[in-house]
Amino acid sequence: MATTTVTCDIVSSDLLGGSNASSELSIASDTKLYQHGTTGTGLEQLNYHRAVIPTGTNFDLIQDSAALSDKANYVYIALKNTDETDYVILSIYDKVIGRLYGGDGGGDWAFFPWSDNTTATGGVDDPSGADSSIEIQAYTHDCEIEYMLFHSGETLLTASDS
Amino acid sequence: MATTYATIDITSTDIADNSISVSNRATLTTAGTDTGITETTGLARVKTSSGSNTILLDHGLTSGVAADVTADKSAKVYIRNTNDRGDGTKYVTILIVTREIGRLYGGDWMLIPWSGGSGEDIEYTASDTTETTLEYCVFYE
């Protein structure tokens, strides 16, 4: 069993109340990535990528798969571009989640659970049809991203010469 | 201009042969600029004991906490299920309109960007009628 801990800290000294120190914003949270239906068995499978997303096309970034469906999976995506006008749009099929922008000191990131609830009827490598694949499209310039998937299992492709 | 930082640390010493440590800090800015975001709903809390689909953040309404969120910008949403994990079978499903994003089990959190430009409300459905508490906060322009 693996133990993976993910912590989040959101802080600002001047978003609330100006110079009033008592109004400082601080949200801190941490969680461990466990398998569904367990009190404390950690997820043991991981994909970790770095990729360049060309502009102009909406891509399947993380493909849906029957083995991932309705499980405890978690996704981390970080945009590495330093130009603040560069951004990517994240979506799940036809529903846009939002935009990650580049930034001088490192761009935006997102971390969220992913249940891959809708699996297309096509093959595992078939991007057609309504599904729950995580999609991404880059705007302004090509976008360099890092992304991780902590998951409960994925459907592997049978080799064509097997 | 306000400065708001969002930092994530992902660590594991045993998910692979070598330890994993990923750390990233984002400065929350308005769309396409280096100007800090200046608006927030503040941290809010909602309780649910319903297994029905419920709107958490209704984009496009003329009232409500999300009324002033400008569409297709750089808004970010933080959500946390504050319940204990329990036996690991109870969770809250977070959706973008009708499409599931994923399941927040007790103690889980998420931080996502939010466009809302085509009426993409953020919704939730508890897995059963156990009382569940969600904390959430929107940073927006």
What is the spatial distance between Cα A89 and Cα B48, in angstroms, rounded to a whole number? 31
Chain B environment of A5 (Cβ under 8 Å): 9-12
Contact yes or no for B87 and A31 at CB 8 A: no
Residue A21 has pLDDT above 60, yes or no: no
ipTM score over 0.95, yes or no: yes
Q: Is residue B13 part of a domain?
A: no
Contact yes or no for A36 and B89 at CB 8 A: yes
| Angle formed at CA A78 by CA A110 and CA A118, multiple of 5 degrees | 55
Number of cross-chain residue pairs from A and B with Cβ atoms under 8 Å apart = 219
Q: Whose CA is closest to B4, among B111, B109, B133?
A: B111
Contact yes or no for B88 and A38 at CB 8 A: yes
Q: Is residue B80 part of a domain?
A: yes
Chain A environment of B85 (Cβ under 8 Å): 34, 39-40
| Mean pLDDT confidence for B105-131 | 93
> Is A130 an interface residue toward B (CB < 8 Å)?
no
Q: Is residue B29 part of a domain?
A: no
What is the spatial distance between Cα A50 and Cα A81, in angstroms, rounded to a whole number? 12
Chain B environment of A44 (Cβ under 8 Å): 15
In our burial notation (b when 16+ CB lie closer than 10 A, e otherwise), range A31-66 reads: bbbbbbebeeebbbbbeeeeeebeeeeeeebbbbbe
Residue A146 has pLDDT above 90, yes or no: yes
Q: Is residue B1 part of a domain?
A: no
Overall domain count for chain B: 1
Confidence of residue A124 (pLDDT cuts 50, 70, 90): low
What is the spatial distance between Cα B29 and Cα B37, in angstroms, rounded to a whole number? 5
> Is B138 an interface residue toward A (CB < 8 Å)?
no
**Which domains are delineated in chain A?**
1-32 (no CATH), 45-151 (2.60.120.10)
What does pTM read for this prediction? 0.95
| Mean pLDDT confidence for A100-106 | 90
**From the CA of A161, how many Å to the nearest CA of chain B?**
30
| Angle formed at CA B41 by CA B39 and CA B47, multiple of 5 degrees | 165
Q: Is residue B5 part of a domain?
A: no
Domain of residue B78 covers 38-140
Radius of gyration for chain A, computed over Cα atoms and rounded to the nearest angstrom: 18
Q: Which residue of B has its CA nearest to A40?
A: B88
The enclosing domain of B70 has a CATH number of 2.60.120.10
| Mean pLDDT confidence for B102-115 | 97
Reported as a single tens digit per residue, the pLDDT across A33-60 is 999 999 999 999 999 999 999 999 999 9
Interface test with B, best of A13, A29, A50, A116 (most B CBs within 10 A): A29
Contact yes or no for B16 and A105 at CB 8 A: no
Q: Is residue B75 part of a domain?
A: yes
Q: Is residue B18 part of a domain?
A: no
The whole-number pLDDT of residue B1 equals: 76
